Structure 1
């Protein structure tokens, strides 16, 4: 599997350039949010999560 150096993505006629670092930074930010929510006691059971999703 070749490493991702940069990926050109076209969405709605706009081109976005993403590097591997961009992808890792985005993943890290989402993981950091999850860890912080656990520290804040905002952890839900899967049933509670589905209840919230069903309300949307």
Structure 2
């Protein structure tokens, strides 16, 4: 598993928590920051998945 997938998953989780905290407290800036962090984590996770796919294809 590529390190980008792990880091992406962590960013998604952190972003979800931050977004939820922003919703609960009514802080739109924190909510938006969490949503952005979550989206960035999804992109990073996808990039790691692509790296894994390429690595697996090269091994075969």
TM-score category (smaller protein): 0.3 to 0.5
TM-score (norm 2): 0.39
TM-score (norm 1): 0.41
Q: Which has the higher strand share?
A: 1
Tell which structure's C-alpha radius of gyration is larger.
Answer: 1
Higher relative contact order (CA 8 A, sep 6+): 2
